[in-house]
Amino acid sequence: MRKTLNNKAWFMVLPVLLIVALNAIVPLMTVVNYSVQDTFGNNLFFFEGTRWFREVLASERFHDSLLRQFFFTFTILVIEVPLGVAIALTMPRRGFWASVCLVLMALPLLIPWNVVGAMWNIYALPDIGLLGYGLNWLGIPFDYTQQPVSAWFTVILMDVWHWTSLVVLLAYAGLRSIDDNYYRAAQIDGASRWAVFRYIQLPKMKHVLTIAILLRFMDSFMIYTEPFVLTGGGPGNATTVLSIDLVKAALGEFNLGVAAAMSIIYFLMTLLVCWLFYTLITQGEKE
């Protein structure tokens, strides 16, 4: 779409700019301040340079939680995206049943995150929870408070439960925008089911799927509340992802310098990946 050059448009953006800047720049600068200073209490700070950054980047604890974070994000993306697309393809396209599906599927998205954690905490308990009891009844030893594998299984299953619907909704929106004539044309040409998916449905969903992957990446990368309520990062440190480790360092141990340096490294990583995605999206729009 052609746009006219008009610098007065700044005035329309200004309110948003001010309110977001208040929330973003002041706290970010506080974090930056902490990350380069040390304190002996009493609000006495002195400059430490890059010490905290070097310390964090060299620490095994940070490497471990980063690794766990990548494992978590990668796993849920690999499960949720194809599953979401498959469900969107098979659910009713319009009418009463489509509405029923949408309403029921959107439900997990609107449950407060700590309730999601608490709900799964109970649901997966080996003695009184349906999931834990059921798995043990089937002869699979399962106890997420003791076994790291069970804990990971529960955390990932919880995330799949919580967020696959977002992918479904977005993919469904992409599918809805396809005109029926495309399908008719494909039928006349005798296209296979796979060909319809590959050459009609997938290209139309490309844009919304990029958004879905972007949102899921961002949100899973900063996940905190649900795994914290579910496992508290345990057993041991088995499910301690970045955010949990960060809060432990900042509020649990009061290592403000280390926590702030971690925050900044963490934020820069998210920023980098999102910049890549953003460039992909905007380039896709130009075509």
Partner 1 sequence: MKHRRWLVPTLYIIFLMLPVYWLLNMSFKTTNEILGGFSWFPADFTVDSYVKILTDPTWYMGYVNSIIYVVLNTVISVAFALPAAYAFSRYRFLGDKHLFFWLLTNRMAPPAVFALPFLQLYSALGLFDTHLAVALAHCLFNIPLAVWILEGFISGVPREIDETAYLDGYSFPRFFTKIFMPLIGSGIGVTAFFCFMFSWVELLLAKTLTSVEAKPIAAVMTRTASTSGYELGLLAAAGVLTIVPGAIVIYFVRNYIAKGFAMGRV
By CB under 8 A, the residues from 87 to 116 that bind partner 1 are 87, 90-92, 94, 98-99, 101-115
Distance of CA 254 to the CA centre of its chain: 27
Residue 113: CB minimum distance to partner 1, A = 5
Residue 72 or 172 with smaller CB distance to partner 1: 172
176 in contact with partner 1 (CB under 8 A): yes
User: Could you give the string, one character per residue 191-230, with x where binding to partner 1 holds by CB under 8 A and - elsewhere?
Assistant: -----------------x--x------x--xx-xx-----
Output 178 or 238, the one with its CB closest to partner 1: 178
- Tell me the DSSP string of 102-128: HHHHHGGGGS-HHHHHHHHHHHT-TTT
Question: What are the structure tokens assigned to 4, written together?
Answer: 């006219």
| 1 contributes a contact to partner 1 by CB under 8 A | yes
DSSP 94: S
Question: Collapsing DSSP states into helix, strand and coil, what is residue 181?
Answer: helix
Instruction: Report the residue from 57, 67, 78, 130 that binds partner 1 according to the rule CB under 8 A.
Output: 130
Is 266 a residue that touches partner 1 (CB under 8 A)? Answer: yes
Residues 46-85 that bind partner 1 (CB under 8 A): 83
Which listed range, 52-60, 73-81, 145-153, 169-177, lies at the site for partner 1 (CB under 8 A)?
Answer: 169-177
Task: Quote the distance between the C-alpha of residue 145 and its chain's center.
Answer: 24
In DSSP terms, 103 is beta-bridged to none
Q: Is 24 in the site for partner 1 (CB under 8 A)?
A: yes
* Residue-wise burial string across 261-287, b where 16 or more C-beta atoms lie within 10 A, e elsewhere: bbbbbbeeeeeeeeeebeeeeeeeeee
Beta carbon of residue 101, minimum distance to partner 1 (angstroms, whole number):
6
Amino acid letter for position 250: A
